[in-house]
A and B are shown apart, each in its own frame.
Chain A
Amino acid sequence: MDKPFAITLDVGSSLANQTGSWRVERPMYVDLLPPCNQACPAGENIQKWLYDAEDGSYEKAWRTLVEENPFPAIMGRVCYHPCQSVCNRGKVDEAVGINSVERFLGDMALEQGWSLPVPAPDSGKRVLVVGAGPSGLSAAYHLRRLGHAVTLRDAAPLPGGMMRFGIPKYRLPRTVLDAEIKRVAEMGVTFELEHRTEHALDEMTAGGFDAVFLAVGAQIGKRAYVPAGEAARILDAVSVLHDVEDGELPLLGRRVAIYGGGNTAVDVARTAKRLGAEEAVIVYRRTRERMPANDSEVEEALEEGVLMKWLSTVKHADAGKLMIEKMALDASGFPQPTGEFEELEADSLVLALGQESDLSLLEDVPGLEVSDGVVKVDEHMMTGYPGIFAGGDMVPAERTVTVGVGHGKKAARNIDAWLRGGERPEPSKHPVAEFDKLNPWYYADAPHAVRPRLEAARRASTFDEVVQGLDASTALYEARRCMSCGNCFECDNCFGVCPDNAVIKLGPGNRFKIDLDYCKGCGICASECPCGAIVMVPEEG
Chain B
Amino acid sequence: MGAVPVKFYQVGSFAVGNRLLDPDLASVQSDPERANSLTSGHRACQGCGEALGARYALDAIMRATKGQMIAVNATGCLEVFSTPYPETSWRLPWLHSLFGNAPAVATGVAAAMHAKGRDDIRVVGQGGDGGTVDIGFACLSGMFERNDDVLYICYDNQAYMNTGVQRSGATPPAARTATTQTVGPEPGNVFGQGKDVPRIAMAHEIPYVATATVADLRDLEAKATRAMEFRGARYLHVLVPCPLGWGSASCDTIKVARLATQSGLFPVFEAVNGEVTSSTKIRHQVPVEEYLKLQSRYAHLFRPTRRDDVIKKLQAMADRNIERYGLLEPELAPAVPAAMSNEPVEVA
Contact = CB atoms under 8 A, between A and B. Distances in A.
Nearest to A15: B41
A508 B18 CA distance: 11
Interface stretch (B29-37, B130-138, B155-163, B323-331): B29-37
A12 B15 contact: no
Interface string B1-43: 1101011111111111111100000010110100010111111
B49 interface: yes
Nearest to A88: B339
A17 B19 contact: no
A444 B20 contact: no
B258 interface: yes
B88 interface: yes
Contacts of A472: 1-2
Interface stretch (B228-236, B299-307, B340-348): B340-348
Nearest to B85: A9
A499 B241 CA distance: 12
Nearest to B2: A473
A345 interface: no
A523 interface: yes
A42 to B, nearest CB: 24
Interface stretch (A18-26, A258-266, A334-342): A18-26
Most buried by A among B2, B14, B27, B342: B14
B41 A16 contact: yes
A357 interface: no
Contacts, number: 193
A515 interface: yes
Given A480-B9, A496-B16, A500-B40, A22 B46 contact: yes
A22 B251 CA distance: 15
Interface in B237-262: 243, 249-255, 258
Contact of B48 (A14, A476, A499, A530): A499
B40 A490 contact: no
B36 A501 contact: yes
A10 B340 contact: no
B217 interface: yes
B29 A495 contact: yes
Interface string B273-286: 00000000001100
B11 A14 contact: no
B17 A499 contact: no
Contacts of A521: 46
Interface in A494-541: 495-502, 505, 507-508, 515, 517-518, 520-524, 526-528, 530, 536
A328 interface: no
Contacts of B1: 56, 472-473, 476
B348 to A, nearest CB: 6
A508 B87 contact: no
Contacts of B4: 473
A442 interface: yes
Contacts of A507: 32
Contacts of A193: none
A477 interface: yes
A523 B48 CA distance: 11
Nearest to A515: B40
B16 A491 contact: yes
Contacts of A233: none
A19 B44 CA distance: 10
B89 interface: yes
A528 B254 contact: yes
A9 B86 contact: yes
Contact of A477 (B6, B17, B32): B6
B252 A12 contact: no
Contact of A524 (B19, B36, B47, B86): B47
Contacts of A14: 39-43, 82, 87-89
Contact of B87 (A17, A500, A522, A524): A17
Contacts of B27: 492, 496
B167 interface: no
B55 interface: yes
Contact of A444 (B12, B30, B47, B86): B12
Interface string B137-170: 0000000000000000000000000000000000
Contacts of B49: 499
B251 to A, nearest CB: 3
Contacts of A17: 41-43, 87
Interface residues of B, number: 62
Interface in B91-134: none
A17 to B, nearest CB: 4
B178 interface: no
B12 A493 contact: no
Contacts of B2: 472-473
A521 B346 CA distance: 14
Contacts of B19: 55, 489-491, 508
A484 interface: yes
A492 B30 contact: yes
Interface residues of A, number: 66
Given A54-B20, A522-B46, A524-B251, A530 B86 contact: no
B310 interface: no
B209 interface: no
A98 to B, nearest CB: 14
A11 B254 contact: no
Given A443-B10, A500-B42, A521-B46, A505 B32 contact: yes
Most buried by A among B15, B42, B344: B15
B51 interface: yes
A127 interface: no
A477 B17 CA distance: 18
Given A19-B41, A507-B32, A524-B254, A491 B17 contact: yes
A502 B10 contact: no
Given A16-B41, A489-B19, A92 B46 contact: no
Contacts of A56: 1
B283 to A, nearest CB: 8
A449 B135 CA distance: 56
B52 interface: yes
Contacts of B46: 22, 520-522
A14 to B, nearest CB: 3
A521 B251 CA distance: 9
B243 to A, nearest CB: 8
Interface in B52-88: 52, 55, 82, 85-88
Contacts of A18: 41
Contacts of A528: 254-255
A13 interface: yes
Given A91-B339, A495-B30, A444 B253 contact: no
Nearest to B345: A527
B254 to A, nearest CB: 5
Most buried by A among B19, B39, B40, B42: B40
Contact of B89 (A13, A55, A441): A13
Contacts of B344: 436
Contacts of B32: 495, 505, 507
A527 B254 CA distance: 9
24 contacts: A13-B41, A13-B88, A17-B43, A91-B339, A440-B339, A473-B6, A476-B6, A477-B7, A480-B20, A490-B17, A491-B16, A491-B17, A491-B18, A491-B19, A495-B17, A496-B27, A496-B217, A499-B48, A502-B40, A518-B41, A523-B348, A524-B251, A526-B251, A528-B255
Interface of A: 9-19, 22, 25, 54-56, 91-92, 435-436, 439-446, 472-473, 476-477, 480-484, 489-493, 495-502, 505, 507-508, 515, 517-518, 520-524, 526-528, 530, 536
The 7 residue pairs across chains A and B that have the minimum distance between CB atoms: A492-B17, A444-B12, A523-B251, A496-B16, A14-B41, A522-B47, A522-B46
